[in-house]
Amino acid sequence: MKHTISGLVKNRTGILAQIVGVFKKFAVSIKSIAVSETDLFDTSRLTIVVEGHDKEVRGVTAQLKKVRDVLDIDDLSRQEYLDQELALIKVHFRPEEFSQLTQTAEVFGARVLAMGKKTITFEITGDEERVDGFINALNSFGIRALARSGLVALKRGDEV
């Protein structure tokens, strides 16, 4: 089952390696990880998406709560939460395909970020399904390069 784990950590050297080590110990594979500073300069929020059995993921989250620089950790998968992802996609194009490419982008709410002589780069944000759908729609044009941020997530509602 897919789990989205969100947490707050102190900005300390090696904290991310420590966290990844806990996932390795429980043999839980990380699908994506995103981490960045919050409004507090010494604290970062991380979002980790994993595929794993409930029992192993519960073990991981319990172990992470014991790590000194982990301030909070939560499996959002059984709660209401919001998530978004960013993708940059560079596609090969021919001038006669430009209209079709921009119409496809418009349908998905993507935007043209840059154009070269033979490529066009799109930016899309949205949930994983929307990003995957746009990527699939662009496959027939020939994707040259792709970068995805990984999911970022927060609990829905007033709870922090």
Tell me the pLDDT tens digit for each residue of 119-142: 999 999 999 999 999 999 999 999
Residues 51, 70, single domain; the answer is: yes
Q: Let me know if residue 34 belongs to a domain.
A: yes
Residues 33, 75, single domain; the answer is: yes
What single DSSP character describes residue 26?
A: T
- Provide mean pLDDT across the span 90-111: 94
Per the structure, the complete domain to which residue 46 belongs is given by 2-79
Residues 67-78 have pLDDT tens digits of 999 999 999 998
Q: Let me know if residue 19 belongs to a domain.
A: yes
pLDDT of residue 43: 97
- Choosing from 79, 98, 128, the residue where a domain stops is 79
Residues 69, 28, single domain; the answer is: yes
- Choosing from 79, 101, 118, the residue where a domain stops is 79
Residues 8-17 have pLDDT tens digits of 999 999 999 9
* Rounded Cα gap, residues 124 and 127, in angstroms: 10
The CATH number that applies at residue 26 is: 3.30.70.260
pLDDT at 80 over 90: yes
Q: Residues with Cβ < 8 Å from 125, sequence gap 6 or more?
A: 84, 85, 86, 87, 131
pLDDT of residue 157: 86
Q: Which has the closest alpha carbon to 7: 40, 41, 45, 58?
A: 45
pLDDT of residue 159: 76
How many domains in the chain?
2
Do residues 154 and 38 lie in contact, with contact meaning Cβ atoms separated by under 8 Å? Answer: no
